[in-house]
Amino acid sequence: GEDVEQSLFLSVREGDSSVINCTYTDSSSTYLYWYKQEPGAGLQLLTYIFSNMDMKQDQRLTVLLNKKDKHLSLRIADTQTGDSAIYFCAESPPGANNLFFGTGTRLTVIP
């Protein structure tokens, strides 16, 4: 199976930037995703990037993709307390019906 890895915890101060990192295993994955899970809620799709892109920006979110190293990152600018949540990266290998998720990174924003 696929093994998507993330660090478990990240703490940042309000107003700073957060960078959440992920390494994935299948270099042929076409799309890579970031999901956010708030306490007691399901997963919410934040953004995704197509594998032929290096970067995607969406308001405060910047996704960077390094295909050579199979490394994906999510940068949140001007982090707010409402950004506190668990962030999951996921890959979609060709031929798979499902997404393969990492363990999630719990982001804590300190006021």
Partner 1 sequence: GAGVSQSPSNKVTEKGKDVELRCDPISGHTALYWYRQSLGQGLEFLIYFQGNSAPDKSGLPSDRFSAERTGGSVSTLTIQRTQQEDSAVYLCASSLAGGPNTDTQYFGPGTRLTVL
Compute the least distance from the CB of residue 22 to partner 1, in Å. 11
Compute the least distance from the CB of residue 48 to partner 1, in Å. 8
Nearer to partner 1, 44 or 66 (CB): 44
45-80 burial by CB neighbour count: b if 16+ within 10 A, else e? ebbebeeeeeeeeeeeebbbbebeebebbbbbeebe
Q: Among candidates 30, 32, 13, 12, which has minimal Cα distance to 105? A: 12
Compute the least distance from the CB of residue 108 to partner 1, in Å. 16
Nearer to partner 1, 59 or 97 (CB): 97
User: Which residue ranges make up the site for partner 1 (CB under 8 A)?
Assistant: 4, 8, 30-31, 35, 40-45, 48, 88, 90, 92, 94, 96-104
